Amino acid sequence: ETHTITVEPLGTELQCREDQSILDACLRNGVWLPHACTHGTCGTCKAEVLEGAIDYGDASPYALLESERAEGAALMCVATPREDVVIEGDVEIEEGITMYPVRDFSGTVEVLDEIAPDVRRLIVKLDEPMDFNAGQYVQLNLPDGDNRPYSIASAPHERDRVELHIKRTENGVATAGWVFDGLAVGDAVTLSGPYGKFYFRPGREKPLLLLGSGTGLAPLVSILKTVMAIEDDEDGDGWEHEVVMYHGVALENGLYDRQWFQDIADERDWFTYRPAVSREECDGRQGRVPALLAEDFPRAGGNVAYICGNPAMVEDTMRALMKARLFPRDIYREDFFDAA
Ligand code: FES
């Protein structure tokens, strides 16, 4: 059974099945609501339910407080309609940004390489091109019908392929059980996207700090490739700002694609690559990203920062940036959990 969802303040009406989240219905119908985890844990997709009954779904009590629920709020990524519903959400999209509707895609595994211990690069050749903003993610469908989120490491202009960096999790159904065991070049896969509110704002013409740990580097690679394309675009004005990328890993052999980044740094004078190895001596600097950043940037004002990593890394990096006088309006963050 489907119900009508009216999204205020736009007044847009769309159809949503009883087994479909209101967020999913909105994103597939071109109504963009802010969202991050899509699993009821982060609270980003909170909206007011003005009319109609919903099922609240699996909303974490930390992401949706009892008091908020009592006042009519719900998490759109897990809420499903039981009758016609009117919601009011934060539908405003920043100027200069186009958000693309979520769609289903099918494709074929073109590359599946181990690029570091327990990290694989999966490149899917899509049957139809996908539009997205650098930094966003897809949900990769597993053979058992479940799905997992992965940030896109390829750039939006490479529209007929998506590259994902996948970390193996012990006993993980998606990783140990599939991507690292059985999935092969030539296999058919399906996915949906694009998702997420972590995306590049190319219109903000300022120096960039790209701060990633582990496979949280992936969306930052998409941003870097986008900047390279802006520089190479013959009709454009090029790119004239510094870009400094940090990649934090525990062990040196986790620095995947190191030579590729190093080559870009050698070729393009605006780009600097700074590996950060925290748990062993290495050929380079030792330490976590927040510590090296604090050392390098006692003053960070004037930059725009994009952070993607595990919650502790993101939190500490935020703190280092704010201490260096870079404020939240210039910091975009993605809290990243390795998908099991
Ligand atoms: Fe994270 Fe809904 S709670 S997107």
Ligand 1 pocket member 44 (CB < 6 A):
yes
Domain assignment present for residue 291? The answer is yes
Ligand 1 pocket member 38 (CB < 6 A):
yes
How many whole angstroms separate alpha carbon 247 and alpha carbon 220? 10
Domain of 312: which CATH number?
3.40.50.80
Which residue among 22, 26, 39 is best mutated to probe the pocket of ligand 1, counting the most ligand atoms within 8 A of its Cβ?
39
Domain assignment present for residue 51? The answer is yes
Ligand 1 pocket member 79 (CB < 6 A):
no
Domain assignment present for residue 323? The answer is yes
Kindly indicate whether the ipTM for this predicted assembly is greater than 0.90, answering yes or no. Answer: yes
215 with 186, same domain: the answer is: no
Domain assignment present for residue 212? The answer is yes
Domain of 53: which CATH number?
3.10.20.30
**Residue where one domain finishes, among candidates 44, 65, 88:** 88
Q: What are phi and psi of 25, to 5 degrees?
A: -60, -40
On the 0-12 / 13-18 / 19+ scale of CB atoms within 10 A, 236 is exposed
Atom 3 (ligand 1) nearest CA: 40
114 with 155, same domain: the answer is: yes
74 with 123, same domain: the answer is: no
Which residues face 245 on adjacent strands? 210, 273
107 with 143, same domain: the answer is: yes
140: containing domain: 103-195
Ligand 1 pocket member 37 (CB < 6 A):
yes
Domain assignment present for residue 236? The answer is yes
212 with 327, same domain: the answer is: yes
CB-CB contact of 296 with 193 (8 Å): no
**Residue where one domain finishes, among candidates 195, 226, 241:** 195
**Residue where one domain finishes, among candidates 133, 166, 195:** 195
| Atom number of ligand 1 nearest to Cα 41 | 3
| Atom number of ligand 1 nearest to Cα 45 | 2
183 with 251, same domain: the answer is: no
CB-CB contact of 122 with 166 (8 Å): yes
Domain assignment present for residue 97? The answer is no
265 with 314, same domain: the answer is: yes
| Atom number of ligand 1 nearest to Cα 60 | 3
Q: Alpha carbon 63 to chain centroid distance?
A: 19
| Atom number of ligand 1 nearest to Cα 38 | 4
Q: What is the pLDDT along the chain (340 residues), one digit of tens a residue?
A: 999 999 999 999 999 999 999 999 999 999 999 999 999 999 999 999 999 999 999 999 999 999 999 999 999 999 999 999 999 999 988 888 999 999 999 999 999 999 999 999 999 999 999 999 999 999 999 999 999 999 999 999 999 999 999 999 999 999 999 999 999 999 999 999 999 999 999 989 899 999 999 999 999 999 999 999 999 887 777 888 999 999 999 999 999 999 999 999 999 999 999 999 999 988 778 999 999 999 999 999 999 999 999 999 999 999 999 999 999 999 999 988 777 7
